[in-house]
Amino acid sequence: MQSRRPLGFAFALASAGSFGLSGIFASALLDGGWSAGAVTTVRIAGGALVLLLPTLRLLRGRWDAVLRSWREVLVLGLLAVALCQLAFFSAVVFIEPSLALLIEFLGPVLLVLLGWAVTRRAPARLTLAGAGVALVGLALISGIGGDALHPVGVLLALLAAVGNAGYWVAASKADSELHPIALAGLGLVVGAIVLGAASATGLLPFVVSAAPVQLAGATVQAWLVVLLLVVIATATAYVIGILGARRLGATLASFVGYSEPMFGILWTAVLLLVLPSPMQWLGAIAIVVGVVLVKLGQVDRPRASRSPAIVEGIPSP
């Protein structure tokens, strides 16, 4: 297990870095006249198309494995993709996007609490401390502030957090019969169907534009930005995220996922020349410290008091 951890961290960080680019690509399309629903639906559907052929090839003669793994596919597609996206973009109608993002990223904390409730074993103190420090860091990066909380917005953001937790549960199943590419591909297909239906019924406003957009100070064609969003920040991000989660377990991988906003700030600084504020630098440091504490909490927890399922962050059945 320990030999898998360094590669798992590399995959998890690369996934967070890839997901972190989605904000810049999506913002370019939104500024170019696209609706949030269109960006989300095209992103997920495009990711499903990119992974379709390799998924079909990997599943040739192995469709029985899909039937046995249907829960993983539905959790990933319905919770992690569809619910998370729908709930988040619905929440930002009522509350600030930064606050919605913070609440959505409560997913890892929900996993810790779920494991505590199901197993009736309290997490290690270092794990709880790491969760708290990482949340403070995320709040500092997100720049929380502004108007009073709207209960509907908070509830919707909490649903997004459930979807976020679902991603780590589905992605971290180390004994899964599905290759990470196949699992990501099938999950994106399910998510694309749900988001497509939501767009078709008007639940998600769907407006696209073929006009060129601004990206990193340059004028580029919208289709190129869509391609980057689909290939790098969706298909690749989901696949390597699953690879990382299967090596680290749901709890640790999910806290490493807190680095996504950090990468978002990094890409903003590199591509848009917008430097982080001192508060955001402090938040980044807090996230790193929080992840280290969660890791130490897993290492220091007495071996006799934990089962493999608990170590991986998934409650025992």
On whether the CB atoms of residues 129 and 293 are closer than 8 A, the answer is: yes
Three-state SS at 97? helix
% pLDDT > 70, the chain: 90
pLDDT tens figures, 2-35: 556 789 999 999 999 999 888 889 889 988 999 8
Q: Are 189 and 59 within 8 A, CB to CB?
A: no
At 301 the pLDDT is 55
Helix, coil or strand: residue 122: coil
- For residue 307, pLDDT over 70 is answered with no
Cα separations (Å) of 278 from 143, 191, 285?
11, 38, 11
CA distance 249 to 153: 30
Q: How far is the C-alpha of 266 from the C-alpha of 274, rounded, in Å? A: 9
Alpha-carbon distance 19 to 139, whole Å? 18
pLDDT value of position 311: 37
What ranges do the domains of the chain cover?
Answer: 2-311
Record the tokens describing residue 250, joined without a space: 């749901």
